Structure 1
Amino acid sequence: MRYRRFGKTNLWLSIFSLGTMRCLASESSFEKTLNSAIKKGINHLETAHNYGQSEQYLGNCIKRGLPIKREQLYITTKLPPTPDVEQMRQGLKQSLSRLQLDYIDCVAIHGINTREHLAWVESKNGCFVALEEAKQEGKIRHIGFSSHGSLELILSAINTDLFEFVNLHYYYFFQRHEPAIARATQKDMGIFIISPADKGGRLYTPPQTLNNLCQPFSPLEFNYRFLLSDRRMTTLSVGPANPEELIEPLKCADRDYPLTFEENCVKEKLETHLSQSLKTDRCSQCYQCLPCPEEINIPEVLRLRNLAVAYDMTDFGQYRYGMFENAGHWFPGNKANRCTECGECLPRCPEQLKIPELLLDTHECLNGVSRRRLWQ
């Protein structure tokens, strides 16, 4: 296992972190997965106030004893933003109680997803006040945030200079947030990449087309290597349901060097195939089509279409598309069938895409069962 400095926190974290949202079938299963991860070199654990019994299970495991000392283990928990400072105080108190700890290494504000959330954080009587108090009292060591919001919102949160680390979505198949990676690096913030297997493309069950294009690597392996080859990233989350699901990701646990010639060839092959498959229908993800009067997240809809058409990632596309209109600020935007063909987006598109036609095509292809976030 390799370790990297987590920005200005000066913590040295394993390049893989254990996310605990999926290993909640039982406390026994949770403990087996946790102990296996620690024995394989993982020293950073991520839980959250809203992850079911995750904090409680982790606290009980710590109480019973772990394969390493508490001082060698770094724990992050996450609390939702709130305009009420007292509510944040109570939430932190509950997390400390569930975890049965005197202090928590890192606390992230969980989901600064809207401008209103950021305003709550920046308010003189907002939730950040409670975290800063707790830090001064030694109850928490470092403060960060996660976001499922727009790039512009994430950059605004980074630029407040309130935070020491950020939890971000960024993968080979979603590179929109690269400017946030760059800005966080300038600010010496720790960068924690969340859900690279699942939100990164459901890469644990890839389609055969994608398997073929990534040979001699698996798509999951290639995505991990794409991320780990970038020294700006500190750590990647892995969210196993059981110890066996740690095996595949941790094959890359000591492979954090630059991309090899073979890996760069795969990268070039994927890009070439994308262009050839989509031809003049390819959305370049410039986001100039926004805002949409019907609040359709046009670039994200067309990104899912890009992936489905080029790489047969239809299952992933249906999984994500089904969250529109169903996951609130965690995945904002209306479904593509809301398009009224008003044409406002057309003159703004540098590729001159027939956006209304592509939106309808995407809806017909990807509209399936509506989905909510796993922990809901």
Structure 2
Amino acid sequence: MQYRILGRTGLRVSVIGFGGIPVQRISTEEAKRVILKAEETGVNFLDSARGYSVSEEFIGEALVDRRGKWIIATKSMARDKASMARDIEISLKNFKTDYIDLYQFHNIRTKADLDKVLSEDGAYTALLEAKAAGKIGHIGITSHSVDLLKIAVETGKFETIMYPYNIVENQGEELFRRAMELNIGVIAMKPMAGGAIENGTLALKYILENQCITTAIPGMAEISEVEENARVADNVTPLTADEKQNINKIIDGLGKEFCRRCGYCAPCTQNIDIPSMFVLSGYKERYNLAAWGEERYFSLQNRAKDCIECGVCENRCPYNLPIRTMLKKVRKTFNE
């Protein structure tokens, strides 16, 4: 296993981390076996979130008596001080630990969101107090908006960023270079494009060839996935000509109907969060997290069924995606 330093945190993390979303669909014992297998291969970084239902708890059970071998990262959607302070305590209890190495803001979307968390009674204050108390070690931020993260990295407030990066989604490369200049750790989420990329080995090789990336966090719920991913990290080599050709084929195949969640389609005339429609559809179709995806989808007031096919979103999309057709497929996925 190869390791890189996670920016100015100074943490030495495995180039392949453990993504905590898929453990929701397996049992506690299965999760423990998978996590211990990851530890055997040299993986030492894992990422979860308050919003991943039982993920934190299952990971906590697996790390009993093994806490010192792992660097734990998690995140919260809290935006105010009181809510974040509460979530930190819940995370500590779930992980059965008295400290969390990296606590992140989960999916900051807009400048208004960022301003809120950085305000006097915002969630950032709670993280600073938790850091002073030794409950957390470092502070990070995650987002699906490259423009938002370009602002965030210049504030000096964050030690790490997390953003999608994979064969189809490479719009963050300029951001990653700037983060490296600022000594900010870069965590690549969605390395398999939400399960859309089937060749996991090729997907990870592509990511790790970029020296601006500190670690990639593929979701893992099976021993075979751990073994395949770890093999890539054991020997990070340059992409071959054949592999680059295969990458171009993947881009050609997925690029026509793959949402990069850039947000340029917004605002929808019917107030539909269009990128979220495709993310939640992917959770049900490819992540095998049907119940979780459905719960989150149907909790939204405005959904794919509310599309009036005005086409405004398609005119804004920089990737020329057939969004109206894609939303019809989302409706079929959720049987509405």
> Shorter chain as normaliser: what TM range?
0.7 to 0.9
Distance 1:121 1:195 in 2: 24
Alpha carbons of structure 1 residues 3 and 86: separation in structure 2 relative to 1, 3 Å: same
1:20-44 CA deviation, whole Å, 9 max, x = no partner?
2222432211211111110011011
Alpha carbons of structure 1 residues 82 and 175: separation in structure 2 relative to 1, 3 Å: same
Alpha carbons of structure 1 residues 272 and 287: separation in structure 2 relative to 1, 3 Å: same
Distance 1:282 1:89 in 2: 37
Instruction: Work out whether residues 296 and 338 of structure 1, in 8 Å CA contact, stay in contact via their aligned partners in 2.
Output: no
Counterpart residue number, 1:40: 41
- For the pair shown, the structure with the greater C-alpha radius of gyration is 1
Instruction: Write out aligned runs for 1:162-241 (5 A).
Output: 162-197=157-192, 199=194, 201=196, 203=197, 206=198, 219-241=199-221
Instruction: Write out aligned runs for 1:50-89 (5 A).
Output: 50-63=51-64, 65-66=65-66, 70-83=67-80, 85-89=81-85
Instruction: Write out aligned runs for 1:1-376 (5 A).
Output: 1-24=1-24, 25-63=26-64, 65-66=65-66, 70-83=67-80, 85-148=81-144, 150-197=145-192, 199=194, 201=196, 203=197, 206=198, 219-270=199-250, 293=269, 326=297, 337-340=307-310, 358-364=322-328, 367-370=331-334
Alpha carbons of structure 1 residues 298 and 195: separation in structure 2 relative to 1, 3 Å: closer
Counterpart residue number, 1:311: none
Q: TM-score, with normalisation over the residues of structure 1?
A: 0.72
Distance 1:29 1:363 in 2: 35
Deviation at 1:108? Answer: 0.9
Counterpart residue number, 1:307: none
Which runs of no fewer than 5 residues in structure 2 stay unpaired?
Answer: 280-284
Counterpart residue number, 1:308: none
Query: How many residues are aligned here?
Result: 323
Deviation at 1:198? Answer: 5.0
Alpha carbons of structure 1 residues 286 and 109: separation in structure 2 relative to 1, 3 Å: closer
Letter in 1 for 2:121: N
Alpha carbons of structure 1 residues 338 and 155: separation in structure 2 relative to 1, 3 Å: farther
Distance 2:194 2:308 in 1: 24
Deviation at 1:79? Answer: 1.9
Distance 2:231 2:128 in 1: 38
Instruction: Work out whether residues 80 and 111 of structure 1, in 8 Å CA contact, stay in contact via their aligned partners in 2.
Output: yes
Deviation at 1:250? Answer: 2.2
Alpha carbons of structure 1 residues 159 and 335: separation in structure 2 relative to 1, 3 Å: farther
My pick for the range that moved more, 242-251 or 226-235, is 242-251
Instruction: Work out whether residues 296 and 335 of structure 1, in 8 Å CA contact, stay in contact via their aligned partners in 2.
Output: no
Deviation at 1:190? Answer: 0.8
Q: TM-score, with normalisation over the residues of structure 2?
A: 0.79
Which runs of no fewer than 5 residues in structure 1 stay unpaired?
Answer: 207-218, 305-314, 372-376
Deviation at 1:59? Answer: 2.9
Deviation at 1:229? Answer: 0.7
Q: CA RMSD in A?
A: 3.8
Distance 2:318 2:222 in 1: 46
Deviation at 1:291? Answer: 5.8
Instruction: Work out whether residues 304 and 328 of structure 2, in 8 Å CA contact, stay in contact via their aligned partners in 1.
Output: no
Alpha carbons of structure 1 residues 243 and 234: separation in structure 2 relative to 1, 3 Å: same
Alpha carbons of structure 1 residues 249 and 126: separation in structure 2 relative to 1, 3 Å: same
Instruction: Work out whether residues 238 and 246 of structure 1, in 8 Å CA contact, stay in contact via their aligned partners in 2.
Output: no
Distance 1:111 1:186 in 2: 23
Distance 2:85 2:254 in 1: 49
- Aligned sequence identity (%): 28
